[in-house]
Amino acid sequence: MHDTKQQPIELTRPSLPDMTEYIEEIKDLWESRFLTNMGVKHRQFATALSEKLGARVALFTNGHLALEAVLAAFDLRGEVITTPFTFASTTHAIVRSGLEPVFCDVDPATGLLDPARIEALITNRTSAILPVHVYGQACDTDAIDSIARRYGLKVIYDAAHAFGVSVGDRPIGSFGDASVFSFHATKVFQTAEGGAVTGRDPILFDRLDLLKNFGITGPESVVCCGGNAKMNEFQAALGLCNLRHINDEIRLRELLVSRYHTWLFAVPGIRLLPIQPDVRSNYAYFPVFFHAGHEARDAVYLELRRQGINCRKYFYPLTSSFACYAGRFDLIQTPAAQALAGQVLCLPLYPDLPNADIDRICAVVREVRLTR
């Protein structure tokens, strides 16, 4: 049993700048004692990001509160068409905002919202579409944005997985009415906790500024019932440092993903994500789909865990089947999402994951697959 003594392998591991680079970046804060409330670091980071993301940027303390702020800023009512094949945050943000999620099925090859199924779900109560760029792929933004225009709906992309992704020469944050990014420690680009909204409409950004800071416009003036979702100066400083290295990080991820591909593309019973021809991915996750279904998937999952290799079933269960929503949503409406949830396993991926670890992980996957 020599294998169980090997070092554990994490699913993700946040990249950090050299400690000296971060210390240099935060030194001024000891001078100014200005630690939050849209200080110098916040302003510098917002400017640098808006160049990177190709759109106006509002910074937040995390991605989830950014998503809730966008829903509030657009003053949405009624129903929001969305996907159940996502992280809890997407669906919770809709429900917590007093809106009703209407679950649309996904493309069985990619797990992305299937635009061909959106129109049948539109009613006179629909106010928005909220798709998710899962795994760092890009949704069919042309199709989705054009349906939304035809019916007068807002489109808010959950781009939590999609930092640095582009479609043709357009950065991913330039589509729809707004896109929401997460800079959580587990994401491709991180500020420990953090998030951002991109978009074009200046009125949206005025509202977001109010919503994230109690609706305060001056020392004696409060104009709306906002909450607190401000990014602080330490988060922004980490963002400034990490932004200098993000292109290298994504390049490293790409190399690791191609190594995974080489080992796994021809293994019977396994399917990998298709290549999206016009899309530059950020290689946020490496999902593997076991088309025999959950028994094969779970066997591999348990064996990897037994050997200290941390992998996760993103996304299982579907958000529509969470205990907190029991009896509320009809799971039969999204068979493709349901099938993917039973097949998927995300394997470890982060920029300094050693090649030898990938080889070891793939050997386990191949062995379990080939012997069962």
Ligand X SMILES: *Cc1c(COP(=O)(O)O)cnc(C)c1O
Residues in contact with ligand X by the rule CB under 6 A:
62-64, 86-87, 89-90, 132, 158, 160-161, 182, 184, 195
Minimum Å distance from CB 360 to ligand X?
27
Tell me if residue 352 falls in helix, strand or coil.
coil
> Count of H helices and E strands in the chain?
11, 15
Residue nearest to ligand X (CB): 63
CA end-to-end span of the chain, whole Å?
20
Nearer to ligand X, 156 or 309 (CB): 156
Q: Which helix (H) or strand (E) holds 184?
A: none
Minimum Å distance from CB 193 to ligand X?
6
Distance from the Cα of residue 331 to its chain's centroid: 23
* Token duo for residue 113: 């919202």
Nearer to ligand X, 191 or 270 (CB): 191
Nearer to ligand X, 259 or 313 (CB): 313
* Token duo for residue 289: 């789909």
Nearer to ligand X, 140 or 158 (CB): 158
For residue 157, which of 67, 222, 41, 48 has the smallest C-alpha distance? Answer: 67
Nearer to ligand X, 111 or 226 (CB): 111
Please provide the size of the chain in residues.
372
Minimum Å distance from CB 201 to ligand X?
22
Nearer to ligand X, 67 or 118 (CB): 67
Minimum Å distance from CB 87 to ligand X?
4
- Extended beta strands in 161-201, E state: 166-167, 170-171, 178-182, 195-199
Q: Where are the alpha helices (DSSP H) in the chain?
A: 19-32, 40-53, 63-73, 88-96, 141-151, 202-211, 233-243, 246-264, 294-306, 335-343, 355-371
Rounded Cα–Cα distance for residues 58 and 50 (Å):
9
* Token duo for residue 103: 């679950």
Residue pair 173/180 in contact (Cβ under 8 Å)? The answer is: no
Minimum Å distance from CB 310 to ligand X?
17
Rounded to the nearest 5°, which phi and psi values hold at 102? -115, 115
Minimum Å distance from CB 158 to ligand X?
5
Minimum Å distance from CB 206 to ligand X?
23
Nearer to ligand X, 314 or 329 (CB): 314
Tell me if residue 80 falls in helix, strand or coil.
strand
Residue pair 106/113 in contact (Cβ under 8 Å)? The answer is: yes
Nearer to ligand X, 67 or 365 (CB): 67
Residue pair 233/251 in contact (Cβ under 8 Å)? The answer is: no
Rounded Cα–Cα distance for residues 64 and 304 (Å):
30
Rounded Cα–Cα distance for residues 38 and 58 (Å):
11
Minimum Å distance from CB 67 to ligand X?
6
Rounded Cα–Cα distance for residues 104 and 82 (Å):
6
Minimum Å distance from CB 240 to ligand X?
18
Nearer to ligand X, 182 or 334 (CB): 182
Nearer to ligand X, 59 or 296 (CB): 59
Minimum Å distance from CB 349 to ligand X?
14
